[in-house]
Amino acid sequence: MTFLQAYWWLLISVLGAILVFLLFVQGGQTLINSSNSPECRKLMVNSLGRKWEFTYTTLVVFGGAFFASFPLYYSTSFGGAYWLWMLILFSFVLQAVSYEFRSKPGNLFTYRTYDTFLFVNGLVGTVLLGVAVGMFFFGGEFTVSRVSLVGGGNPVISTWAPTHGLEAITNWKCLLLGFAVFFLARTQAALYFINDIKDARTFGVSTRVSVLFNGVTFVLLFVGFLVVLFLQSGLRVDPAKPGNVVPVANIYLHNMIDMWWTIPVFLGGVLAVLYGVLRTAFSNSWNKGVWWSGAGTVAVVFVLFVIAGFNNTAYLPSLTDPSSSLSVYNSCSSPYTLRTMAYASLIVPVVIAYIWITWRKINAKPLTIKEVDNDAHSY
C-alpha cells in the first residue's frame, strides 16, 4: 500500500467517523413526536435546525472524497446500488424541505406533516447509511469488468444485481448495523438535547430515560454486530496481483490483532460512549455526555473503517465474483490524482476549524423557548 492510498483511506475513515457522530441530528428528528408539548417540540426542532447542515455537508464531503480517491467504489456502489443510495438521498431532501418550509406562513402542510418528514429522514437516513457501510464487511452482489472500458462495445465497468442495492436491505447482518446506527443516533440526540437546550429541565427526566433506553438498545445491537463481524470471513488481496483474493476466516478480528494500535483506540471509544450514556442517565445535572459519547463514536467508527480497508483487505467484497472485490489497491485513482487531491485535502483542518468556530458561535446563547419565539428565523 502506498502512502497516498493509506492517506486517503485514513481521511475517508475520519470523515465517516465524524458523519456517524453528526447523525445525532437524524436521531433527534425521530424523538420530536415523542413529546406532547408544542413548546418542547419547537425547542427540539430549533436545536436540531441549527446543526442539520453540518451533517448534510459532511455527507457530501464524504462522497466527494470517495469520488476523488477511490472512483471505482463510487461508480460501482453509487452507480450500481443506486436504489439504496436514492432512498438515502431522497430522505435527506425531505429533511432540507422540512427545515426550510416548516414554519413559513401560508404552507399547505401542517407542522406535524413536516415533523413526519423529519422522522422519515431520521429513520431511513440512519438505517440505510448503516446498511451501506455494512456492505464494507458483508459484501454486495456486483461484478467488475475493466475490459469493458477498452472494448468499446459496452462502456459499463461494473454490473450490480437486478435489485440495485435493495438486496442489501434484506441482509440481516447489514440491517443489524443499520439499526445499531439508528439507536446510537437517538442516544446521542438525547444527550445533545440535554447539553444544548437550557429549558431541558422541562423534559429532562424523560430525556434521560430516553438516553438509557436507546443507549441500552444500541449496546445490545452493537455487541451483536461485533460478534457477527469478528466471526465473518473476508477476502485478503494480493498487492502484487489485486485480482487475486484469498478467503480468510475471522479476517476483521485478525486485522484488529495485527494492527494492535486499533485495540486501545477501539476500547477507549467504547468506554467513552458507555461513560457518557450511563453518567448522563443517572445524573440529574451532568450534561456533558454528548461530548464523551461523540468522541467515543468517532474513535470506534474510525477503527471499523481501518480494519475494513487496511491489512490487504477487500473493503467491498463481491458476493457474485470474489475477483471483482474492491480494495484500496485496485479501486484508487491514479498517483497524479491522489497527489493533487492530497494538496487540496490540506484545507480540511481549515474546514474543521470553521465548523468548530461556527458551532461555538451558534451555541453562544443557550436555547430557550423565549429566544425561539423571538427569532424571525426559527424553524
Identify the pLDDT of residue 333.
85
Contacts of the segment 241-246: beta carbons below 8 A, 24+ positions apart: 242/327, 242/329, 242/330, 243/323, 243/330, 244/323, 245/314, 245/322, 245/323, 245/325
Identify the pLDDT of residue 203.
60
CA dist 81 and 145 (Å) reads: 16
Please tell me whether the overall predicted TM-score, pTM, comes out greater than 0.85 for this model: yes
Sorted by sequence, the CB contacts under 8 Å of residue 302 that are 6+ apart come out as: 13, 14, 16, 17, 265, 269
What is the SS3 assignment for 243?
A: coil
CA dist 339 and 333 (Å) reads: 10
pLDDT tens-digit series, residues 312-335: 999 999 888 888 889 898 888 888
165, 84 in Cβ contact below 8 A? yes
- Cell numbers at 290, concatenated: 454528548
Looking from the CA of 231 toward its CB, the CA atoms found within 13 Å total 7
Identify the pLDDT of residue 104.
76
**Average pLDDT, integer, range 350-377:** 74
CA dist 127 and 121 (Å) reads: 10
Which phi and psi (to 5°) does residue 200 adopt?
A: -60, -20
Q: Give the distance, in angstroms, between the CA of residue 70 and the centroid of all CA atoms in the same chain.
A: 18
Q: Tell me the β-bridge partners of 197.
A: 367
131, 177 in Cβ contact below 8 A? yes
**Average pLDDT, integer, range 343-369:** 78
Q: Which amino acid is at 360?
A: R
Identify the pLDDT of residue 354.
78
Q: Give the distance, in angstroms, between the CA of residue 26 and the centroid of all CA atoms in the same chain.
A: 11
Confidence label for 199 from pLDDT (cuts 50, 70 and 90)? low
Identify the pLDDT of residue 68.
86
Least confident of 13-22, 53-62, 96-105, 240-249: 240-249
- Cell numbers at 280, concatenated: 448522563
- Cell numbers at 329, concatenated: 489497491
